[in-house]
């Protein structure tokens, strides 16, 4: 897992995922190695974290520590998960 700071949140990403942040828009996009869009994370006008996944994934949110962990489903359940 790699850790990325996104404002006052820590984002933990599966090692093969890439994050690109637009600080002005308060948005982050997550890409797979094939440059396929996997999700968007942003801070809304109420300063709340919003998530729009575009793939089958497991997202774990720890609001106490402000940590968000994103893993592809296969990483969590293995290839047998459908």
Give the confidence band of 79 by pLDDT, cuts at 50, 70, 90: low
Q: Which residues contact 70 (CB under 8 A, 6 or more apart)?
A: 11, 12, 13, 14, 17, 30, 39, 53, 57, 58, 59
pTM confidence score:
0.76
Domain that holds residue 11: 2-76
* 12 occurs within a structural domain: yes
Enclosing H/E stretch for 47: none
Residue 69 is predicted with a pLDDT of 92
> Is residue 24 pLDDT above 90, yes or no?
yes
> Is residue 81 pLDDT above 50, yes or no?
no
> Is residue 76 pLDDT above 80, yes or no?
no
Identify any residues that bridge with 30 across adjacent strands, giving them in sequence order. 19, 39
Distances in Å between the Cα of 54 and the Cα atoms of 14, 23, 39, 61 are: 16, 21, 5, 17
Q: How many domains, the chain?
A: 1
* 13 occurs within a structural domain: yes
Q: pLDDT per residue over 45-74, tens digit each?
A: 999 999 998 878 888 999 999 999 988 877
**DSSP-based three-state secondary structure for 75:** helix
Distance CA 10, CA 2 (A): 10
* 82 occurs within a structural domain: no
Identify any residues that bridge with 60 across adjacent strands, giving them in sequence order. 69
> Is residue 29 pLDDT above 70, yes or no?
yes
* 65 occurs within a structural domain: yes
């Amino acid at each position: 897992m790699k850790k990325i700071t996104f404002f006052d949140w820590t984002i933990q990403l599966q090692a093969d995922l890439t994050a690109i942040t637009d600080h002005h828009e308060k948005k982050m996009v997550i890409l797979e190695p094939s440059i396929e869009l996997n999700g968007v994370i942003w801070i809304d006008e109420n300063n709340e974290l919003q998530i729009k996944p575009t793939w089958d994934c497991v997202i774990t949110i720890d609001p106490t520590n402000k940590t968000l962990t994103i893993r592809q489903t296969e990483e969590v359940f293995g290839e047998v998960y459908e």
